[in-house]
Amino acid sequence: MVKLNDEMKETFAKVKLFPVATASKSGVPNVAPIAFVMLVSDDTIWLADNYMNKTLANVKENPHIALYVWEPESRKCFQVKGKVQVKTSGPDYEKMKEKVKAKKQEYPAKSLLVMKVTDVFTCLPGAEAGKKLL
């Protein structure tokens, strides 16, 4: 099990919008900006599905996902990869839905993507670019 370290968690907490990359079963890529992304434990990230179309279709075919985490003030950058499970009911889904509705009642909170972290890589330029961190 891969767990984000304290520095990564601090950086993650400062980010407001996450580019999220997925691919279809045949390998067609998709990147979408997602704001409702929550680190719920050292190894688990929740993504709220309000308006996902291609992203949701892709993870149903191919559950692998990547998040780009960039915090410009500290100039910290990393990519988190993982595997996603889609939930449309249950306690985790209900908790996520409550958080989304508290932010804006009109958001549909259609489903919850539960991401288990499998890898973390640096995104900073230079000789270490792309190096596996975890």
Domain range summary for the chain, segments of one domain joined by +? 6-122
What integer pLDDT is reported at residue 99 of this predicted model? Answer: 93
Mean pLDDT by groups of 10 residues along the chain of 134 residues: 92 95 96 95 96 95 96 90 97 95 92 97 90 92
The whole-model pTM stands at 0.93
Query: What pLDDT score was predicted for residue 113?
Result: 98
At the fourth CATH level, the homologous superfamily of domain 6-122 is Electron Transport, Fmn-binding Protein; Chain A (2.30.110.10)
Which residues, at least 6 apart from 117, have a Cβ–Cβ distance to it below 8 Å?
2, 3, 4, 43, 44, 45, 80, 81, 82, 134
